[in-house]
Amino acid sequence: KNEVEQSPQNLTAQEGEFITINCSYSVGISALHWLQQHPGGGIVSLFMLSSGKKKHGRLIATINIQEKHSSLHITASHPRDSAVYICAVRDISGGGADGLTFGKGTHLIIQP
């Protein structure tokens, strides 16, 4: 089973700063997900990627398959970006319907 490490665990930044959250995993994957969880519990899927880079608004996700590493970037950060960001990977072997392994999350706080 994959081991997923996220860094940093906690991050506090000022509004407008460029934010980077990292995710590393131990074995080959077929896909990687970035999720966002706001206070109160609801989780939103931000990206699913298997190679390269994806962009949605101020969010950018990249993945390097050879290095087993992904980053989530937030440009021009805003207090509403404050949330827990979770990385999840699907092993190449797939497993059952949900061969996902989740990271423990990065708690981001953007101060005005």
The residue ranges that bind other proteins (CB under 8 A) are: 30-31, 33, 35, 40-45, 48, 86, 88, 90, 94, 96-98, 100, 102-105
Least separation in angstroms between CB 17 and other proteins: 26
- Which residue type sits at 9? Q
User: β-strands 100-102, 43-49: how paired?
Assistant: unpaired
| Of 7 and 75, CB closest to other proteins | 7
| Of 16 and 94, CB closest to other proteins | 94
Residue 48's DSSP bridge partners are 33
How far apart are the C-alpha atoms of 24 and 30, rounded to whole Å?
14
Least separation in angstroms between CB 93 and other proteins: 13
Q: Is 112 helix (H, G, I), strand (E, B) or coil?
A: coil
How far apart are the C-alpha atoms of 64 and 52, rounded to whole Å?
7
Least separation in angstroms between CB 77 and other proteins: 23
| Of 77 and 85, CB closest to other proteins | 85
Least separation in angstroms between CB 14 and other proteins: 26
Cβ-in-10-Å burial (0-12, 13-18, 19+) of 37 comes to: middle
| Of 27 and 43, CB closest to other proteins | 43
